Amino acid sequence: EGWQERGAAATVRRETDASGQSQTRIVKKGVKDFNFGRTLGEGSYSTVLAATDRQTLKEYAIKVLDKRHIIKEKKVKYVNIERDTLNRLTEHPGIVRLYYTFQDERSLYFVLDLASGGELLGVLKKMGSFDVECTRFYGAQILDSVAYMHSRGVIHRDLKPENVLLDRDMHVKITDFGTAKILPDPRTSGAGSQEAPGDPTDGAGTDRAVSFVGTAEYVSPELLRDKNACKASDLWAFGCIIYQLLAGRPPFKAANEYLTFQKILALAYTFPDGFPDVARDLVERLLVLEPSNRLPVEHIQNHQFFDGVQWGKGLWQQKAPRLK
Ligand code: ATP
């Protein structure tokens, strides 16, 4: 099984040659163009390293994937989904950007935005829980990013505080698109949230065989019931995240996955004492069993909980609130 260098990113550089003529050259980056530094983290099939572009001195995170391991474990499809979705989502500050991909005999390399602030989960664990101001800020940045990916025809399907990374300004960078679902491009097909019947990356065929995609605590009831995720499934997960930021724990949590699923299907969760009323109202409108009855993105943005939030560009120019 091989990897084609489909859509590999490259930089276009203008250079002046010996005769003084201006030339445009496509420069392809490779392993040799980076100085590799500390290990940022390890995944099941990958190691993520800090790296610096030798020429520009810009810092990146480079995800190094072991080809043999990926083929042996039949994860080629997921690696390709990750690359394809990231290549679709390059115009938003809230999504980890993929700059270049290249490979050598042993490994695939994804050159990504460096998220030096680590995972939102780590920050949350250190703080215990967030106050309303922090929850509003991080919630708004997550929602703005989700709105963008949905507008570009991508359903994340595994949103959770571990997959929300933070950059040096403590701004959100969503990652982990390996289990995402790519819908036909709404700009070319006009199909909205419709799934292409023959789409090899859709959830219907192959995903039915596996138990589920996602993480037990954030998985939506429709995925458990019908093995089908839609845009609203990400908004279920978003509701779980808002709850978790304020309460310090996810709404549905049990001793094992099976019991967690039972709780989700029964909508069996309660709010801790002191949970703010306005946030409670928002969560109750998101943690709704029927996906079509969940608050859509535009209505979430207009919910009282997000009063005063500047949606769009302004949200990303804002200084992150001090954690408390
Ligand atoms: P698995 O593949 O087992 O699900 P994973 O998705 O976390 O794990 P990776 O994407 O390889 O695997 O990430 C490994 C670790 O590296 C993560 O825990 C994450 O915190 C860190 N990491 C990933 N991407 C970046 C990044 N762009 N900047 C900084 N750290 C990152």
Nearest CA to ligand 1 atom 23: 48
In angstroms, rounded to a whole number, what is the distance separating the alpha carbons of residues 120 and 170? 9
| pLDDT recorded at residue 149 | 98
Nearest CA to ligand 1 atom 18: 41
In angstroms, rounded to a whole number, what is the distance separating the alpha carbons of residues 88 and 242? 26
The pLDDT tens digits of the residues spanning 215-256 come to: 899 999 999 999 999 999 999 999 999 999 999 999 999 999
Read off the pTM. Answer: 0.88
Question: Is pLDDT above 50 for 176?
Answer: yes
User: Which residues are 155's β-sheet partners?
Assistant: 181
The pLDDT tens digits of the residues spanning 282-308 come to: 999 999 999 999 999 999 999 999 999
Catalytically annotated residue among 84, 113, 144, 158: 158
| pLDDT recorded at residue 205 | 37
List, chain by chain if needed, residues with CB within 6 Å of any ligand 1 atom.
40-46, 48, 61, 63, 96, 112-115, 119, 165, 175-176
In angstroms, rounded to a whole number, what is the distance separating the alpha carbons of residues 272 and 202? 38
Which distant-in-sequence residues (6+ apart) come within 8 Å of 119 by Cβ? 161, 162, 163, 164, 165, 166
The 172-174 sheet, strands edge to edge: 118-119, 164-166, 172-174
- For residue 290, report the distance from its CA to the centre of ligand 1, in Å: 32
| pLDDT recorded at residue 28 | 84
The pLDDT tens digits of the residues spanning 79-110 come to: 999 999 999 999 999 999 999 999 999 999 99
Question: Is pLDDT above 90 for 202?
Answer: no
The pLDDT tens digits of the residues spanning 117-158 come to: 999 999 999 999 999 999 999 999 999 999 999 999 999 999
| pLDDT recorded at residue 213 | 64
Pocket test for ligand 1, best of 39, 46, 74, 157 (most atoms within 8 A of CB): 46
Scored b (16 or more CB within 10 A) or e, 107-129 reads bbbbbbbbbbbebbbebbeeeeb
Pocket test for ligand 1, best of 36, 40, 97, 166 (most atoms within 8 A of CB): 40
Q: What count of Cα atoms within 13 Å lies in the side-chain half-sphere of residue 194?
A: 10
Segment 306-312 mean pLDDT: 95
Q: Who has greater pLDDT, 23 or 257? A: 257
| pLDDT recorded at residue 314 | 96
158 tagged catalytic: yes
